[in-house]
């Protein structure tokens, strides 16, 4: 103590011998007795950042009413006081505390409250559970100890299911979200777009979302394709809707009840032909050459009616003219052309934009010739995959556009036929039904897999109007080789469950 007193108050004097000795002792003591190095500078202990759970993604099914967030309890090894603040909440839905209070951005939640674990914080999706969302947004929160802030994100995504529907636009998701293997789907696309297969587009839909699609160079999702004979299945749908709405009494009604050119009182075979016979391609009417109807007649309905009759309901003879007669049936029954009736009762209901060609006389060409996009043809396929139901995204309701009764009847094998129903191709061994057109312009549906596959060939449209006359012509390129079994097997095998 005397030495410190002397050091503090005698600095202006000469340092004496005793002070020097005392100073040496202090230095040795600080060096551990005899070391030669100086002591490192003393620094404060480093701050340890708060420890919180990792970023996670919560996958929600469409019919979910609430889901727990299961936040991990934050830990701070330094013992600092922690603060939890909400930074962002989902754009659709509500975050609720365990006491039922809503959480908002900027909300500070005390760590002592019971917000952690299965019932601490929950997310409640919006009221429209059968909507078109595939992503509800992100719940973001920060944890701070006053020095370091850690931000964590919880992303909410919707797992597509049989309750998922397209809105104005399709949702496109990774195949694994619907339990499909991306590598296997790529093999299917590679097959479709191999050289000389002349594929313009392929769209693959499962659980109401697009999981794979591809377009030829210079084409995209807005490019038009044409149906060719896959339009026959659309005509079948309109007959079913007309029956549902009682414009047509029964599929077994005689055609002569709707076609004035055929007198039901005549004693010949014409009055015996039913609507079912036309849909099953068993009218018994004489055949014409292939696509002659497309190029040889201004009034294609009259051209189709002007044929001799044989026994109906027995022999299958695929005929464009049989399908064209249904154009006249729909006109008489509904008072509208098939094009107009289809727009009112079908296309507008499912968000499908179409341009359905007519002959020069104004009759809709019900055997073919619907121009649309591959994505929109997939809407028609999904309608049948879902038993005729469609989610109205505007009014948030589920509409029965076509009765399940008609969907079932038209897509089952007709009695005595091996692969055809009511203007639908049916393949029970594989589970697929198909609306199939020239040059593999096809819509394939597997109802139990909730799967739709659309393939269209390269399409060129000539002329200025969708009226088949003069220079107004549709043209597609046939694939040099195409095997439906090989193509569809690659897609079906990509499904993991």
Q: What is the pLDDT of residue 281?
A: 98
Q: Give the distance between the most distant pair of CA atoms in the chain.
A: 148
CA atoms within 13 A on the CB side of 190: 7
Give the separation between CA 427 and CA 301, rounded to whole angstroms.
Answer: 31
Q: What distance, in Å, lies between the first and last C-alpha atoms of the chain?
A: 86
Q: Yes or no: say if 123 and 71 are a contact pair by the CB < 8 Å rule.
A: no
Across the range 9-34, mean pLDDT stands at 36
CA atoms within 13 A on the CB side of 18: 7
Give the separation between CA 101 and CA 440, rounded to whole angstroms.
Answer: 57
Could you report the per-residue pLDDT of 476-486, keeping only the tens digit for each? 999 999 999 99
Q: What is the pLDDT of residue 128?
A: 55
Could you report the per-residue pLDDT of 195-253, keeping only the tens digit for each? 999 999 999 999 999 999 999 999 999 999 999 999 999 999 999 999 999 999 999 99
Could you report the per-residue pLDDT of 126-143, keeping only the tens digit for each? 765 455 555 678 889 898
Domain segments of the chain as ranges: 1-38, 56-159, 175-492
Give the separation between CA 497 and CA 493, rounded to whole angstroms.
Answer: 9
CA angle 190, 192, 194 (to 5 degrees): 65
CATH 2.60.40.10 at 56-159, yes or no:
yes
Could you report the per-residue pLDDT of 42-77, keeping only the tens digit for each? 555 688 888 888 898 888 876 778 888 888 888 888
Percent of the chain clearing pLDDT 70 (strictly above): 87
Strand partners, 372: 225
Give the separation between CA 285 and CA 308, rounded to whole angstroms.
Answer: 6
113 or 156, which is more confident? Answer: 156
Helix ranges restricted to H, 117-224: 182-192
Q: What is the pLDDT of residue 157?
A: 80
Among 75-84, 148-157, 170-179, 447-456, which is the least confidently predicted range? 75-84
Q: For residue 39, what pLDDT band results from cuts at 50, 70 and 90? A: low
Give the separation between CA 338 and CA 326, rounded to whole angstroms.
Answer: 9
Percent of the chain clearing pLDDT 90 (strictly above): 65
Q: What is the pLDDT of residue 16?
A: 40
State the pTM of this model. Answer: 0.81
**Residue 226 CA: distances (Å) to CA of 125, 169, 231, 339:** 40, 20, 9, 15
Q: What does pLDDT average to over the chain?
A: 88
Could you report the per-residue pLDDT of 265-316, keeping only the tens digit for each? 988 899 999 999 999 999 999 999 878 999 989 999 999 999 999 999 999 9
Q: Is residue 381 pLDDT above 80, yes or no?
A: yes
CATH superfamily of 175-492: DD-peptidase/beta-lactamase superfamily (3.40.710.10)
Could you report the per-residue pLDDT of 398-441, keeping only the tens digit for each? 999 999 999 999 999 999 999 999 999 999 999 999 999 999 99
Give the separation between CA 221 and CA 214, rounded to whole angstroms.
Answer: 9
Q: Yes or no: say if 378 and 447 are a contact pair by the CB < 8 Å rule.
A: no
Which residue reads 């095997």 in tokens? 483
Q: Yes or no: say if 495 and 453 are a contact pair by the CB < 8 Å rule.
A: no
């Amino acid at each position: 103590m005397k030495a410190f007193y002397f050091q503090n108050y005698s600095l202006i004097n000469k340092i004496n011998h005793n002070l020097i000795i005392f100073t040496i002792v202090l230095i040795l003591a600080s060096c551990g007795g005899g070391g030669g190095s100086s002591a490192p500078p003393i620094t404060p202990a480093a701050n340890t950042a708060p420890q919180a759970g990792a970023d996670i993604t919560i996958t929600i099914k469409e019919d979910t009413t609430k889901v727990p967030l299961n936040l991990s309890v934050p830990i701070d090894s330094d013992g600092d006081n922690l603060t939890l603040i909400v930074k962002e909440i989902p754009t659709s839905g509500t975050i609720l505390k365990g006491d039922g209070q809503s959480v908002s951005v900027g909300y500070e939640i005390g760590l002592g409250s019971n917000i952690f674990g299965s019932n601490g914080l929950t997310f409640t999706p919006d009221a429209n559970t059968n909507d078109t969302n595939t992503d509800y947004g992100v719940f973001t929160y920060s944890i701070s100890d006053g020095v370091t802030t850690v931000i964590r994100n919880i992303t909410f995504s919707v797992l597509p299911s049989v309750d998922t529907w397209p809105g104005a636009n399709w949702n496109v998701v990774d195949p694994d979200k619907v339990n499909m293997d991306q590598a296997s789907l790529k093999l299917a696309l590679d097959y479709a777009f191999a050289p000389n297969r002349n594929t313009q587009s392929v769209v693959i839909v499962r659980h109401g979302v697009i999981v794979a699609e591809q377009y030829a160079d210079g084409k995209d999702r807005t490019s038009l394709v044409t149906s060719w004979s896959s339009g026959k299945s659309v005509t079948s749908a309109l007959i079913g809707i007309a029956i549902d709405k009682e414009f047509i009494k029964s599929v077994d009604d005689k055609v002569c009840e709707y076609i004035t050119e055929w007198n039901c009182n005549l004693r010949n075979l014409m009055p015996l032909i039913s609507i079912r016979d036309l849909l099953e391609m068993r009218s018994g009417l004489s055949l014409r050459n292939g696509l002659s109807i497309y190029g040889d007649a201004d009034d294609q309905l009259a051209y189709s009616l002007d044929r001799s009759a044989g026994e109906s309901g027995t022999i299958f003879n695929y005929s464009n003219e049989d399908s064209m007669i249904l154009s006249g049936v729909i006109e008489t029954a509904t008072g509208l052309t098939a094009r107009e009736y289809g727009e009112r009762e079908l296309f507008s209901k499912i968000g499908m934009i179409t341009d359905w060609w007519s002959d020069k006389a104004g009759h809709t060409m019900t055997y073919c010739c619907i121009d649309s996009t591959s994505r929109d043809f997939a809407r028609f396929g999904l309608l049948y995959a879902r038993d005729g139901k469609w989610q109205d995204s505007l009014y948030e309701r589920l509409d029965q556009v076509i009765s399940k009764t008609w969907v079932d009847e038209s897509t089952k094998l007709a009695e005595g036929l091996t692969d055809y129903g009511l203007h639908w191709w049916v393949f029970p061994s594989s589970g697929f039904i198909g609306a199939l057109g020239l040059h593999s312009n096809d819509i394939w549906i597997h109802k139990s897999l909730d799967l739709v596959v659309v393939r269209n060939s390269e399409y060129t449209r000539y002329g200025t109007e969708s009226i088949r006359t003069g220079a107004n012509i549709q043209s597609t390129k046939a694939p040099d080789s195409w095997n439906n079994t090989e193509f569809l097997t690659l897609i079906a095998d990509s499904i993991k469950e």
